[in-house]
Amino acid sequence: MAKVKLNVKVLRYNPDTDKKPYWKTYELETEDDVTILDVLNEIHWNIDGTLAYRRSCRSAICGSCAMKVNGRNVLACETGLHQFNSHKLKIEPLPGFKIIKDLVVDLDEFFAKLERILPYLILKKPTPDKEFLQSPQDFDKIQEAAMCILCGSCTSSCPSLWANEDYLGPAALLKAYRFIFDSRDDGTDERLDIINDRNGIWRCHTIFNCMEACPKDIKITEYLSRLKVKATENSI
């Protein structure tokens, strides 16, 4: 552990005073084993209290602190300085979203799209006295998709979405996968009706950016491909 001097460029924007975003540079000294979130906290707490960003859990499970650091979408809290070769950092908000202030982006549309795919278990059978039985193999089909923390990194990285903002995007489609492939769910037809659409699953062009951006290493593109197969089978 040693002290290092950092040069941190942050994309700043305050809707009340700025016409457009601009870069501000901070010079500071920290330990070399800190995270990007530690760096932002150091700036916010001790240098410039006007800097705004989201953060909460610090342990990569709440999904608040997704942002772009040196060209990659990451969770600031779990990303150590050691992951970069340089002591120069360039921090900006997740691309593809409207900026509210500094690193804080507007997630309203992101959550609205999630709601469109009916993101809850749909049952047309009576509930049992105890649990629905589900085999470990059937649980395995949805376990990884259920790990999604809704941070927005995947959706932010998707070129298809940049080109067409009406596209549902990878996070909402992954949620659709999580329910359609849940052995307990009876809502496949309703959900396929929603995603089997030109702004639904077919706008995924298997570019794999979402998978690379996912901090939880969820194989999103693969799951979306399985959805395409399912949608095709159902329409035949």
Among 80, 88, 198, 234, binds other proteins (CB under 8 A): 80
Among 4, 11, 28, 62, binds other proteins (CB under 8 A): 62
Q: Does 231 bind other proteins (CB under 8 A)?
A: no
Nearest to 151 by CA among 88, 206, 217, 196: 217
Whether 11 contacts 23, CB under 8 Å: yes
Cross-strand bridge partners of residue 68: 73, 92
Residue 188 to residue 211: CA distance in whole angstroms = 24
Q: Does 35 bind other proteins (CB under 8 A)?
A: yes
Residue 60 to residue 63: CA distance in whole angstroms = 6
**Which 150-209 residues touch other proteins, going by CB under 8 A?**
150, 178-179, 182, 184-185
Q: Does 55 bind other proteins (CB under 8 A)?
A: yes
Q: Which stretch binds other proteins (CB under 8 A): 87-95, 99-107, 199-207, 223-231?
A: 99-107
Q: How many residues bind other proteins (CB under 8 A)?
A: 65
- Hey, how many other C-beta atoms are within 10 angstroms of the C-beta on 183? 13
Residue 21 — φ and ψ, nearest 5°? -65, 150
Q: Which stretch binds other proteins (CB under 8 A): 90-98, 121-129, 154-162, 195-203?
A: 121-129
Q: Does 121 bind other proteins (CB under 8 A)?
A: yes
Residue 59 to residue 57: CA distance in whole angstroms = 5
Q: Which is nearer to other proteins, 92 or 182 (CB)?
A: 182
Residue 65 to residue 37: CA distance in whole angstroms = 8
Q: Is 119 exposed, middle or buried (0-12, 13-18, 19+ CB in 10 A)?
A: middle
Q: Does 57 bind other proteins (CB under 8 A)?
A: yes
Q: Does 100 bind other proteins (CB under 8 A)?
A: yes
Q: Does 48 bind other proteins (CB under 8 A)?
A: yes
Q: Does 219 bind other proteins (CB under 8 A)?
A: no
Q: Does 32 bind other proteins (CB under 8 A)?
A: no
Residue 10 — φ and ψ, nearest 5°? -120, 135
Residue numbers at the binding site for other proteins (CB under 8 A) = 14-17, 33, 35, 44-46, 48-64, 78-80, 82, 100-102, 104, 107, 111, 115, 118-121, 123, 127-136, 138-139, 142-143, 146-147, 149-150, 178-179, 182, 184-185
